[in-house]
Structure 1
Amino acid sequence: MRTEMAGGASASDYVLAVDVDGVLVHPSPNLGGAWDSRIQEDLGIDPKALGTKFFREHWQDVIVGRRDLRESLAAVLPALHPEVTVQDFLAYWFTNDGTVDQEVAAELLDWRKRRGGRTAAVTNQEQYRVAYLRESKGFDELFDHIAWSGDIGVTKNSLDFYKIVNSRLGVDPAQVWFFDDDPRNVEVALDAGWHAFHFVGVHRMQEVLATIPIV
């Protein structure tokens, strides 16, 4: 059943969009910090060298699809630790940075199943982690659409990102409610016409969603 909204729109025309890292997905709580906080002990990789040789040199191109993640890692891992393979590294990274917040997931499912709206992941990601999240973390069950920077070609700090997502979703910007833990992304999404909110916890998210007239 299509729940009717103000102005004749239906609930299925409205989109609940969330950032991934920092909103829906977090590092393993067992680490007590970032996903790489124990990488020196576990893999023998110096996190400072990882930041310099990989993230500083390669990441900005990887995250918008100009470089392949596996190829970039293959180029730098021998200098970081010659015995750590690309597969070893990615398995460590994705596993330790893949804890799904079940309360946020429940809000997404509620939006889809009870309210009849659509959901979207809106995220700075590259292709291999997107595939992991879909295959191992149930993203295809949570989301109708996944918008990611490696596919779109720009990150969420660009207004073009949101324009492209609007076009792909086929919605007016005012039909999107978006939650992100980075205030800079929130500001750009607001400029794009979205209802954008700084994510500070699921309870605030629930308060905002409760004000939206979808029953």
Structure 2
Amino acid sequence: MKPAVVMVDVDGVVVRHPDPAGWSARIEEDLGVPRQALQDRFFKPSWDDVVHGRAPLRARLEPVLAEIAPHVSCNQLIRYWFEGDAHLDKALLLQLAEVRASSVPLHLATVQEHERASYLWDTLKLREKFDDIHYAAQLGVSKPSQEFYAAVEQRAGLPASAIAFIDDTEKNVEAARSRGWNAALCPPPRATLSTLIPELSD
């Protein structure tokens, strides 16, 4: 039996950076921002609050940049980040479009803060390819917490048994399965959706 909805992760699934080091691999060469300092001063102490919607991205990022790279504005850094982390997996999106054309809605279920969620949805136009987005800052919780999956169920108005889910992280998949979702791990090289979720072929 086909699922009522297919939930899809973003980073590592819909968006896949070609460099294993990710969007910040060349940030020191390109912008003059010390990568380790950005990690130590912004991501380590502030990311948990930002990604769970407890603090605005810019409120935490701006003072850090003023100290470690005063020549770079928040706008510059965020643009570099979002544009550098926008490599869509077009082959997967074509497969997902076929699923959606068969009357199975597609939703994003992802760990994002508000600004990047908006960038993904509006600027990258994922709103044209998916029917809804559920993300950490919006919900106040993130994968692999059971509260994340419960909050997504509530927003979607669906029971766990009606949801298929694709993620690239094993602990997220296992947590979803323990909740009752039909969850599949999507490692490279990319498997076909019908292999990951055979029910889509029903």
TM-score of the pair, normalised by structure 2: 0.94
Ranges in structure 1 where 5+ consecutive residues have no aligned partner: 1-5
**AA matched with 1:44:** G
Q: 1:91 Cα shift?
A: 0.4
| Residues 1:149 and 2:136 aligned together | yes
- Which residue does 1:3 correspond to in 2? none
**AA matched with 1:146:** I
- Which residue does 1:74 correspond to in 2? 62
Q: 1:89 Cα shift?
A: 0.2
Asked if the contact 1:16–1:178 (Cα under 8 Å) also holds between the matched residues in 2, the reply is yes
- Which residue does 2:112 correspond to in 1? 125
SS in 2 for 1:99: coil
Q: 131-140 or 34-43, which moves further after superposition?
A: 131-140
Q: Given the alignment, which residue of 154, 163, 175 partners 1:188?
A: 175
Q: Given the alignment, which residue of 34, 40, 44 partners 2:32?
A: 44
Q: Distance in 1 between matches of 2:4 and 2:128?
A: 18
SS in 1 for 2:199: coil
Aligned alpha-carbon RMSD (Å): 1.6
SS in 1 for 2:52: coil
Moved over 3 A (4+): none
Q: Distance in 1 between matches of 2:51 and 2:185?
A: 22
SS in 2 for 1:122: strand
Within a 5 Å distance, the mapping from 1:36-185 to structure 2 comes to: 36-113=24-101, 115-185=102-172
**AA matched with 2:132:** H
Q: Distance in 1 between matches of 2:151 and 2:182?
A: 16
Q: Distance in 1 between matches of 2:200 and 2:80?
A: 43
Q: Distance in 2 between matches of 1:32 and 1:122?
A: 22
Q: Percent identity?
A: 34
TM-score of the pair, normalised by structure 1: 0.88
SS in 1 for 2:53: coil
Q: Distance in 1 between matches of 2:26 and 2:47?
A: 20
SS in 2 for 1:146: strand
Q: Deviations over 1:178-204 (max 9, x none)?
A: 111111111111111101111114325
**AA matched with 1:23:** V
Q: Given the alignment, which residue of 2, 10, 13 partners 1:23?
A: 13
Alignment CA distance shift 1:71-1:214 (3 Å): same
| Residues 1:14 and 2:10 aligned together | no
Alignment CA distance shift 1:56-1:32 (3 Å): closer
Ranges in structure 2 where 5+ consecutive residues have no aligned partner: none
Q: Distance in 2 between matches of 1:214 and 1:206?
A: 6
Alignment CA distance shift 1:50-1:150 (3 Å): same
Asked if the contact 1:199–1:205 (Cα under 8 Å) also holds between the matched residues in 2, the reply is no
Q: 1:32 Cα shift?
A: 6.5
